[in-house]
Amino acid sequence: MLRRIMPTTYFLIALVLSIILHFVFPIIRFIYPPYIYIGYLLILFGGVVNIWTDIQFKKQKTTVKPHIMPTSLETSGPFRISRHPMYLGMTSVLLGAAFLHGSLTGFLSPAIFIIIMERVFIPIEEENLSKAFGQHYLAYKKKVRRWI
């Protein structure tokens, strides 16, 4: 069931949850201006990484859907810094929103999002990449970290 819902849906749910939690349960506000503005940088970074990654996938004509077997092994562009740059970008946006809110509850959403990606999607993707690209993927996996 969890696999049928795409990661972007979990991202949007986490973003809305972050906003709702901040306004309904603003537990321990610990980030104040000017530090909350770090959130804008994180959101910008996450947006750029996601767009860059999407362009890479389209250029190579391979899938962004985690449950579909990939047709090419991406190792350039954002894939030089992360094996899962789209998840990194989405997490960065969630962290940016948490910084902007400045309360502890805002940081629950990025944590939950990371756990879901780690447990539900990343294992499927890495298994498919191993099956499709064997030793090439294993060599890449040794060189590049999962997140950053």
Domain assignment present for residue 126? The answer is yes
> Does position 92 have pLDDT exceeding 90, yes or no?
yes
- The total number of structural domains in the chain stands at 1
Between the alpha carbon of residue 133 and those of residues 118, 121, 141, 142, the distances in Å are 21, 18, 11, 14
Maximum C-alpha span of the chain: 49
The pLDDT-based confidence of 28 (bands split at 50, 70, 90) is confident
Instruction: Please report the beta strands in 4-142, taking only residues with DSSP state E, as ranges in sequence order.
Output: none
Q: Is residue 127 part of a domain?
A: yes
DSSP, res 35: G
95 part of a folded domain? yes
d(CA 28, CA 43): 22
Confidence of residue 6 (pLDDT cuts 50, 70, 90): very high
Give the CA distances from residue 120 to residues 2, 8, 27, 53, 115, in Å, rounded to whole numbers and listed in that order: 7, 13, 29, 20, 8
**pTM for the whole structure:** 0.93
Q: Dig out the tokens for 39 from the structure.
A: 């959130």
Domain of residue 44 covers: 7-143
